[in-house]
Structure 1
């Protein structure tokens, strides 16, 4: 995988961490299980035609869109499994957003924010932010007036070494706006691994997943609180990844992994301890607990669905989307998408 790292940057496998201390809230009891918690059941797999369907989203016609590790964007019929290649970004596509004109907005880890037309042609919309190359663009939404908002997970690490940011807790995630005239504005530059993004139906606010903050935050776009943020849901028992707004009006949240107790203990302590952990051989570093986990919240923050499975049927869920009662999940580390049974 290519990378637009800063010139002469130290290779990430040898980078010295600049750890930030943070005292996370105590993890919820019983791993956050509530009466809402139920087993996650995979109804059937859907072949993506490649590897690593990191984000999955429904378009306006009920088809699925996902991006693969080899750069392709594919459209999949969830009923038949028929898969059509829309185009190739030439990089590593992550978050996607279907546009009203039939194009697809793409957060490409290597190339920045792109627009892919129906014929597969690619236009680069943003490739620099605040004078630096845009890398690790994560998720994107578009407003009715074609204003675009997108997240950048971290300014210090790439996708291959994302665990470096988890351990360092760099808090360098961005929330960025691109106006219809092309003006780019950084709205937040201190997010804890900014990830999934949802625009409220009335365009009054954004919801932003902060993976290493164990929370989803609300950023107000209109009204007396415009330009300010507040919690939407916080102190989650897991790490939220991509999000989407379903046709059911729920905010569907992929939970990539549960919180790690060792990491929670290390985060408030002197940073050299985390540097030691980062420099351990990869085989013995702390690893995410294998699980398939999705949640869904009402727009008032009320938990509606909490679906979990640790049977190995699927794992490391990085995206989930709902349309007319069909719920589909995707994963950075799997080949298939999966339809979930509710």
Structure 2
């Protein structure tokens, strides 16, 4: 249970992040862009393999690409056979997504080496450690097709996959409509590789943009873009199967993602303010205590994720043609 002091600290953080009007010049100068291969854009989410120094990200055209300092970006996998076609990059999103795929949330099962992918329109997929064509696991549950899948994480203790749908009506490219109509049709799903069954854990979520599992596998956090908060769903313990508010933002900041930082027990939250187009990130622990904050105004059209690995931060977006990196 988060203490009242920790709750107040997190609320104050989010309020301050929205109110800041000055920019950390040293931070802006330290942010290094890694340009994507030509025609590719929108590095939505990141996955890291503990045995390597690089990262993986899903981009427009249905491709998943791998980056290492030695080789730069190389193609690792694709959602459909069509993803290799130039047409997938000639067509604009979201039109290309229906034919080619659009990887959103991605994460590794570090035990098996499998990469799980929540494709925005084409369902839940898995990619073998060798890469190549992704295998579709499911495109719906209980006779209902998935809509606008967005966030995904793998429980590091069990290998169970948790993923979210942003909305049953709107895509990530229609955030203005999702906000205007106060949409609350998002869902949290669970996929168990041992039983190959997908179940719905939560419904009625307001723009479930991202999710992450705690390092001990006791709970999963889900960001609600339209409701300005993050929900904690308990997986284990006396509260298993129940949910509660993990944080709330009184300053109209929309959390777009939340990601676990290795086995530290901490998390990075990425948030945006659509009215002023400001972007903020905050590091918090499992009790909500604020550990660090960074303010990034006007650097991204839409910050989809911030993730940390091996001493660096990685910034993703829906539309940019580069990955932002920052040495901590």
TM-score when scaled to structure 2? Answer: 0.80
Q: Distance in 1 between matches of 2:176 and 2:212?
A: 24
Counterparts in 2 of 1:155-170, with a 5 A limit?
155-170=168-183
Bigger relative contact order, structure 1 or 2 (CA pairs below 8 A, ≥6 apart): 1
Partner residue in 1 for 2:44: 54
Shift of 1:178: 1.5
Of residues 298, 314, 323, the one that matches 1:328 is 314
Gaps of 5+ in 1: 1-24, 261-288
Gaps of 5+ in 2: 1-10, 81-100
Alignment partner of 1:316 is 2:302: yes
Partner residue in 2 for 1:109: 120
Shift of 1:28: 6.8
Residue-by-residue CA offset, 1:179-211 (whole Å, 9 max, x unaligned)? 221222111111111121111111111011111
Partner residue in 1 for 2:7: none
Partner residue in 2 for 1:218: 232
Which range moves more in the overlay, 120-129 or 142-151? 142-151
Q: Secondary structure at the match of 1:97?
A: strand
Partner residue in 1 for 2:207: 193
Shift of 1:111: 0.7
Residue-by-residue CA offset, 1:266-314 (whole Å, 9 max, x unaligned)? xxxxxxxxxxxxxxxxxxxxxxx3334222111111112221122x444
Partner residue in 2 for 1:264: none
Q: Secondary structure at the match of 1:252?
A: strand
- With over 3 angstroms needed to count, the CA separation of the structure-2 counterparts of 1:328 and 1:160, relative to structure 1, is closer
Partner residue in 2 for 1:86: 76
- With over 3 angstroms needed to count, the CA separation of the structure-2 counterparts of 1:236 and 1:133, relative to structure 1, is same
Partner residue in 2 for 1:294: 281
**CA RMSD between the two structures:** 2.5
Q: Distance in 1 between matches of 2:163 and 2:15?
A: 33
Q: Distance in 2 between matches of 1:28 and 1:251?
A: 15
Which range moves more in the overlay, 53-62 or 182-191? 53-62
Q: Distance in 2 between matches of 1:103 and 1:132?
A: 26
Residue-by-residue CA offset, 1:146-191 (whole Å, 9 max, x unaligned)? 3221111101123332322221112111011122212221111111
Q: Distance in 1 between matches of 2:235 and 2:158?
A: 14
Q: Secondary structure at the match of 1:213?
A: coil
Alignment partner of 1:251 is 2:261: no
Partner residue in 2 for 1:135: 147
Q: Report if aligned partners of 2:214, 2:265 keep a CA contact under 8 Å in 1.
A: no
Q: Distance in 1 between matches of 2:154 and 2:170?
A: 26
Higher helix share: 2
Q: Secondary structure at the match of 2:31?
A: strand
Q: Distance in 2 between matches of 1:253 and 1:123?
A: 30
- With over 3 angstroms needed to count, the CA separation of the structure-2 counterparts of 1:120 and 1:221, relative to structure 1, is same
- With over 3 angstroms needed to count, the CA separation of the structure-2 counterparts of 1:56 and 1:168, relative to structure 1, is same
Q: Distance in 1 between matches of 2:250 and 2:303?
A: 16
Of residues 185, 196, 206, the one that matches 1:172 is 185
Runs of 4+ aligned residues of structure 1 deviating over 3 Å after TM superposition are 27-34, 37-40, 312-315
Q: Report if aligned partners of 2:273, 2:279 keep a CA contact under 8 Å in 1.
A: no
Which range moves more in the overlay, 79-88 or 165-174? 79-88
Q: Report if aligned partners of 2:18, 2:273 keep a CA contact under 8 Å in 1.
A: no
- With over 3 angstroms needed to count, the CA separation of the structure-2 counterparts of 1:307 and 1:148, relative to structure 1, is same
